Amino acid sequence: MLFTQFEFPIYFLCVLIAAWLCRGRRTRNAVLLIASYYFYAYWDYRFCSLLALSTVVDYCIARWMVRSTGTGVRRVLLVSSLVVNLGVLGFFKYFNFFIDSASPALQAIGLSGETLDIILPVGVSFYTFQTLSYTIDVYRGVLKPVNRFLDFALYVAFFPQLVAGPIVRARELLPQLAKVPGFSKRRFYGGAQQMLRGLVKKVLLADRLGEAVDVVFAGPDLYSGMTIWIAVLAYAGQIYYDFSGYSDIAIGAAKMLGYRFPVNFRHPYLSGSMSEFWHRWHMTLSRWLRDYVYIALGGSRVSQWVTYRNLMITMTLGGLWHGAAWTFVLWGVWHGFALAFERGFKNAFRFRIARPISWLLTMAVILSGWVLFRSDSLTTAAGVLQRMVGFAEGVNWYPPLAIAALLCCVIEHVAWCTPLRRAMRLPINAWYSPILTTVMIWALVLYAPRDFRPFVYFQF
Amino acid sequence: MKPTPVKLLPELGLHSVWTLLWRWVLGAAVGTGVIAVTSPLFLRSYLPLNADPVRGVWTLPPDSDYRWRSEGYANTAIGPFGMPGKAVPLSGLSVSNGEQTADLNQAQGPPSQIALWGDSQAEGVSVDDDDKLFAKIENASSGDLNVYPLARSGEDAADWVTQMPRVEEKFGIDQHVILVVEPADLLAAVGAPVAAPSASDASAANAALASKLPAFVIQAARNLLREPDGSTPRRFRFTVGPVPAASEQFGISEQPAVEQDAATSDKTGDSLNRDDSVLWVNALAAIRNATELPVVLLYAPLSPHIIDGKIRWRDPTADQFLLLHNAAEKLGIRVVDARDELRDSVGSGGRWPHGFHNGHIGSGHLNQVGNEILAAKLFEALSDRPDDSALPSIESRD
């Protein structure tokens, strides 16, 4: 089920009532677990087995891990968890990509190199990372394995974050699931407001921007450089509002149920450097990559060149995590290179670049990265960049609603830097909150695009 | 662990709850007011339909304004007989006792009176009144032609042939022009019904609704209660997946539109044989029999068109047009082919005849440029009018 489907409010209302009527932790968690599996089965019940497999494997491995004292055994158990989880992810998400990429080599040695008709299970990248974080934390000794299977199963399958994050770590959610949360009016209201904001971001802004993006990227050779600039900016807005909108809905839904999720976005387009960008963009993924890949590789406590290598590896894997295509890999490489370059520059030169200039440079890197991210091939990406830089001739198309949505993006980012930031949360006692809330609800009903658009991050 | 009891509104006293409630009710009213005031900027009109006694169809009410907000942003003033854009009083037409009448004998109008038929493309949806096809033709003729825009969205030849005789007498029509975008629309002329609008139509119910409720309320109700197509009642699914139409649900196009289009076209081409020409002859004969006046078919297919990032230069209905053209020749119906002008506009000047910035440039309805091109082409063709005596008589056409 998607948050933007008409069925979701009905489903969520039922879950909300049922959850708050449950007095006991066990009953509450059981209700939420059933609701979460139904949420996933709504898309395809067959893939619930994968979710269950991942849950059982990591629960059992963590339990065995704590019982065994030998480092070797613990390491074997960790590797087993990695093999199972990454095996599932690798098969469903990357099998065809690798076969396709290796096809010429395979054919040279007499193998067919045929791809399979595989459906990518929704959210597999997210829940795999969640369960892995649990096993690795238990292995590292920073987390005690959970005793109650029900709690762990709910941690893995909890519906608000199941299919597209935020990637909540076990040590953040499991302690919350160990008790029945107290009801707080303010938290409940705050959650509802955040859900509403998320819906506005997704439906009114991201989807409007997406309409323009899809048309131009379907045939970028047709359009003028100016139109392509608008489309690329629109894509930057689309992917931000799409994903941060989803995160807002997820965080808001959890909040209404009494749980706290980590923040996932903090106005990333205000960043003045690439490292700052990754502290503001998809924060739960970047800290996952930092904690479980970058630091595992040695982080920055190694020589300068090894640090650069670590950055490149981490970001390349981050790119690959987003999708099984060379454009995503290259996007990761591009960000890794930018981060490494930035680090090297800071080490070599001790002066600071003025914030407006560093912001412009950062935006240039990010936007060119989005071109790679959105294009269906490297050739398309190269063509788009060429037309952007050369302000090529072509069809001029200036979609007014997409441009208006882009302006909203700019205004929102600027307002966030001012005292208006607090007002943007629409406090319950503020006089303007009822008015703006009503306007947002009406706007959602009236101005949502009529064609259905899934969340961009669902494909990851 | 001891569960925490749930307390609703724990921090507030009764007075505070009432204050909060009152504030939210008031705020909701103000917020709704904001939407009511601003929604005309973004939402189309919903007007009550009017059963026109002369044309025998449901039309938008005369003297009203209609807002286009789907592709282009434009307002249309609805004129007498529901004619979009022709809001100024017509020569020879008078309004008495709330009913519109026309007196052909008193008409002191321009030399040639043309009835313009077609669907939404001829109606000029989403373009300003001055840019509509009828206005452009009148401008091109410098007043020598008076064009009655009688085209309406969703209509086909079945509607046109029933209205033709009704308007001829009233308006003093000299000739009929039909804008043909999709030739298949002409096939409906065979066996066209002659029923006048009935008060029991669904349109009547819609009319009552549209006259009582503001547009934003109707739009909200439609969005909530109808599927995106606007006609099917909304259905909820609470069964588990997978659902057969998952690809549709997730908006994944399994076949590029260009290929679909080509496939359709090929299929059309395959299925069209010599027997199919009879269909076209019958269709045009039905039109021919509906009027004794000259009929001109202005052919302007959806090409060039941008579909899925590619320019479709080829006419998707070229096969049908060939048969149509042959049938028209037999029946003495004049055909004006505007394909070259449409292509040249894009090819040489990059001016797209279809599409709007709010929709997609290069696809969709005719825009200002498209209407201008067609008006010029039609005027040029009408100026070079063939001798009427060369046309076969009605009897010989039968």
Domain boundary among A180, A196, A227: A180
| Three-state DSSP state, B119 | coil
Is A138 found in the same domain as A205?
no
Strands B93-96 and B99-102, bridge-based pairing: antiparallel
Note whether residue A28 is domain-resident: yes
Q: Is the CB of residue B70 less than 8 Å from the CB of residue B44?
A: yes
Q: Residue B98 has what pLDDT?
A: 40
Return d(Cα B378, Cα B341) in angstroms, integer: 11
Which residue pairs from A111-118 have beta carbons closer than 8 angstroms and sit at least 24 positions apart in sequence?
Answer: A118/A91, A118/A92
In this complex, which of A43, A181, A215 lies closest to B360 when CB atoms are compared?
Answer: A215
> B68 at the A interface (CB within 8 A)?
no
Would you tell me which residues 285-324 of chain B have a C-beta closer than 8 angstroms to some C-beta of chain A?
306, 308-311
Q: CA–CA separation, A69 vs A132, rounded Å?
A: 21
Per the rule left: phi > 0, alpha: psi between -120 and 50, beta: everything else, B364 is left
Provide the shortest C-alpha distance from residue A174 to chain B (in Å): 15
* The pLDDT of residue A258: 96
pLDDT (tens digit per residue) in B115-129? 999 999 999 999 999
Q: Identify whether A108 is part of a domain.
A: no
Classify strands B175-180 and B145-149 as parallel, antiparallel or unpaired: unpaired
Q: Is A335 a catalytic residue?
A: no
ipTM (interface pTM):
0.84
What integer pLDDT is reported at residue B253 of this predicted model?
Answer: 41
Contacts of A153 (CB under 8 A, 6+ apart): A33, A52, A55, A59
The answer to whether position A110 is within a domain reads no
pTM: 0.86
C-alpha atoms less than 13 angstroms from C-alpha of A341 in its C-beta half-sphere: 11
In this complex, the residue of A7, A446, A458 whose CB is nearest that of residue B238 is A7
Both tokens assigned to A260: 């706290």
Angle at Cα A419 formed by Cα A413 and Cα A420, nearest 5°?
60
For residue B88, the model assigns a pLDDT of 60
A430: contact with B, CB 8 A cutoff: no
From B19, which residue of chain A is nearest by alpha-carbon distance? A429
More confident site: B247 or B367: B367
Nearest residue, CB atoms, A446 vs list B216, B357, B362: B216
Whether B162 and B52 have beta carbons less than 8 Å apart is answered as no
Q: Is residue A331 domain-resident? A: yes
- Position A296, amino acid: A
Cα dist from A135 to A58, A262, A295, A315, whole Å: 6, 20, 16, 22
pLDDT in tens, B161-205: 999 998 988 888 999 999 999 999 988 888 766 555 555 555 666
CB of B294 closer than 8 Å to CB of B176: yes
- The answer to whether residues A151 and A25 belong to one domain is yes
Q: Which of B4, B24, B352 sits opposite A434 (nearest CB)?
A: B24
A162 and A253 housed in the same domain: no
Q: Hey, is A275 helix, strand or coil?
A: helix
Residue A448 sits at the chain B interface (C-beta within 8 Å):
yes
pLDDT level of residue B273 (50, 70, 90 thresholds): low
Of B220, B310, B350, the CB nearest to A446: B220
Q: Which residue has the tokens 């005027």?
A: B379
Domain assignment present for residue A326? The answer is yes
* Amino acid identity, position B268: T
Cα separation, B51 vs A264, in Å, equals 57
Q: Let me know the angle formed at the C-alpha of A104 by A100 and A106, rounded to the nearest 5 degrees.
A: 85
Treating both helix axes as pointing N-terminal to C-terminal, what angle do B318-331 and B257-271 enclose, rounded to 10 degrees? 40
Both A90 and A162 in one domain: the answer is yes
Q: DSSP secondary-structure letter at B106?
A: T
For residue A49, count CB atoms less than 10 angstroms from its CB and return exposed for 0-12, middle for 13-18, buried for 19 or more. Answer: exposed
Query: What digits encode the pLDDT tens for the residues B317-367?
Result: 999 999 999 999 989 899 999 999 999 999 987 899 999 998 899 999 999
Structural domains counted in chain A? 2
* Of A349, A425, A418, the residue nearest A187 (C-alpha): A425
The residue ranges of DSSP E strands in B325-377, in sequence order, are 334-337
Q: What is the pLDDT of residue A86?
A: 92
Q: Please check whether residue A338 lies inside any domain of the structure.
A: yes
Q: Inter-chain contact B30–A42, Cβ cutoff 8 Å?
A: no
Hey, of A15, A34, A43, A46, which one would you mutate to test binding to chain B, going by the most B CBs within 10 A of its CB?
A43
Same domain as A149, residue A231: no
Kindly determine whether residue B234 and residue A6, on different chains, have CB atoms separated by under 8 Å.
yes
- Residue B99: what pLDDT? 45
Taking the CA of residue A54 and the nearest CA in chain B, the distance in Å comes to: 20
Q: Give the closest of B4, B24, B228 to A450, CB-based.
A: B228
Q: Which of B195, B170, B211 is nearest to B50 (CA)?
A: B211
- In 10 A of CB A207, how many CB atoms? 22
Look-up of token digits 């005031």: B37
Cβ burial of B388 (10 Å; 0-12, 13-18, 19+) is exposed
DSSP state of A206: I
Q: Are B323 and B278 in contact (CB under 8 A)?
A: no
Q: Which two tokens stand for residue A118?
A: 């595989």
Tell whether A156 and A244 lie within a shared domain: no
Q: What are phi and psi of B295, to 5 degrees?
A: -120, 135
Domain with A146, as residue range(s), is: 7-102+118-180
Spell out where chain B has E strands.
Answer: 50-52, 57-59, 65-68, 74-77, 93-96, 99-102, 112-117, 145-149, 175-180, 295-299, 305-307, 310-312, 334-337
Selected catalytic residue, list A267, A282, A322, A335: A322
Distance separating alpha carbons of residues A459 and A122, to the nearest angstrom:
7
Is there a contact between B151 and B180 (Cβ–Cβ < 8 Å)? no
Range of weakest confidence among A124-128, B257-261, B385-389:
B257-261
Q: Residue A230: its chain B contacts at CB < 8 A?
A: none
Q: Cβ–Cβ contacts within 10 Å for residue A290, how many? A: 15
Same domain as A142, residue A192: no
pLDDT tens, N- to C-terminus, chain A (460 residues): 889 888 999 999 999 999 999 989 999 999 999 999 999 999 899 999 999 999 999 999 999 998 887 888 899 999 999 999 999 998 988 888 888 787 778 777 877 777 777 788 888 889 999 999 999 999 998 999 999 999 999 999 999 999 887 999 998 999 999 999 999 988 999 999 999 999 999 999 999 999 999 999 999 999 999 999 999 999 999 999 999 999 999 999 999 999 999 999 999 999 999 999 999 999 999 999 999 999 999 988 888 899 999 999 999 999 999 988 899 999 999 999 999 999 999 888 877 888 999 999 999 999 999 999 999 999 999 999 999 999 888 999 999 999 999 999 999 999 999 988 888 888 888 899 999 999 999 999 999 887 767 777 666 6
Residue B149 contacts residue B66 (beta carbons within 8 Å):
no
A2 located within any domain: no
Binary contact (B4, A451; C-beta < 8 A) = no
Same domain, A199 and A237: yes
Interface test with A, best of B35, B218, B248 (most A CBs within 10 A): B35
- Tell me, what's the pLDDT at A422? 86
Residue B112: how many other CB atoms lie within 10 Å: 15
Kind of pairing between the strands at B310-312 and B305-307: antiparallel
Domain boundary (A154, A180, A206) is at: A180
DSSP 8-state symbol, B3:
P
Q: What pLDDT is recorded for position B265?
A: 44
Closest CA to A6 of B224, B220, B216, B240: B224
Is B347 strand, coil or helix? helix
Question: Mapping DSSP to helix (H, G, I), strand (E, B) and coil, where does residue B391 land?
Answer: coil
Overall average pLDDT of the B77-92 stretch: 77
Tell me the chain B residues in contact with residue A436 when contact means C-beta distances shorter than 8 Å. 31
One domain for residues A162 and A202: no
Is A404 part of the contact surface with chain B (CB cutoff 8 Å)?
no
Max distance between CA atoms of chain B, in angstroms, equals 101
Q: How many Cβ pairs closer than 8 A exist between chain A and B?
A: 149
Q: Which of A180, A201, A221 is the last residue of a domain?
A: A180
**Using the beta-carbon criterion (under 8 Å), do A23 and B234 form an inter-chain contact?**
no
Find the angle CA(B243)-CA(B246)-CA(B248) to the nearest 5 degrees.
135
Residues ≥6 apart with Cβ < 8 Å to B19? none
| Continuous segment of H or E residues that includes residue B389 | none
Query: Residue A110: what pLDDT?
Result: 77
Q: B16 to chain A: which residues are within 8 Å by CB?
A: none
What pLDDT, on a 0 to 100 scale, did the predictor assign at position B387?
A: 46
Interface of A with B in 35-54 (CB under 8 A): 38, 41-46
Same domain, A217 and A129: no
Q: Calculate mean pLDDT across residues B271-300.
A: 84
| CB burial readout A117-128, b (16+ within 10 A) else e | eeebbbbbbbbb
Cross-chain Cβ contact B31/A10 below 8 Å? no
Q: List CB contacts (< 8 A) between A41 and chain B.
A: 240-241
Q: Which amino acid, one-letter code, is at A366?
A: I
What does each C-alpha distance from A178 to A54, A63, A166, A171, B76 come to in angstroms? 21, 17, 20, 11, 63
| A107 in any annotated domain | no
Same domain assignment for residues A447 and A328? yes
Task: Tell which residue, A128, A399, A188, A62, has the closest CA to residue B11.
Answer: A188
Q: Please indicate, yes or no, whether residues A170 and A200 belong to a single structural domain of this protein.
A: no
Task: Count the residues in chain A.
Answer: 460
pLDDT (0 to 100) of residue B270: 45
Rounded to the nearest integer, the mean pLDDT of chain B is: 79
Residue in chain B lying closest to A183 (CA): B6
